[in-house]
Amino acid sequence: MTASATPTLSASQLKVSIEDLKARHGAAPWSERLVINDRYIITVICQPPGHQNDWHYHLVDECWSIYEGELSWTLEGQPEPIHVTAGDWIIAPANTFHFIQVHGDRPSIRIAISYAGEHHRHERENKPPAPAGARLN
């Protein structure tokens, strides 16, 4: 799943709906970058049930708004995964390893807000063990 390189929203297109994105892309998985500037990136991410990402962290906070579906975030230092559904917001604090899983029987859609130029980091001193099922890269 690769996000679009050119942002959807710009001076020539000021509005888009999640429902329009769903109609354009069809079935999961897909993602689309709505805004890209020198400070932040906003990406809509649609993933199928059972999808999970890799065990990683960022140097700055990353947050998401859940549009639909059920997901969980396993966050370094937290005793249990944090479960979220439509209408919830969640943050992965800077330097905190995290692992995202899609649950239930339908796709999830979340809107990610991340710092421009920041990427998934997989190694650091005192790296915590990855949760069961997490990809390591």
pLDDT digits (tens, 9 = 90+) for 55-99: 999 999 999 999 999 999 999 999 999 999 999 999 999 999 999
Residue 19 backbone dihedrals phi, psi, to 5 degrees: -65, -35
Our CA angle for 114, 105, 26, nearest 5°, is 60
CATH class, 18-115 region: mainly beta
AA identity, residue 14: L
Burial 69-85 (b: 16+ CB within 10 A, else e): bbbbbbbbeeeebeebe
Full DSSP string of 25-80: H-SSSEEEEEEE-SSEEEEEEEE-TT-B-B-BB-SS-EEEEEEESEEEEEETT-SS
Instruction: Report, in this order, helix, strand and coil percent for the chain, each rounded to 5.
Output: 5, 40, 50
pLDDT in the model for residue 3 = 63
Q: Which of 90, 119, 85, 81 is nearest to 104 (CA)?
A: 85
For residue range 104-121, what is the model confidence (pLDDT) as tens digits?
999 999 999 999 999 999
Q: pTM for the complete prediction? A: 0.92
Could you identify the residue written with the tokens 């998985």?
29
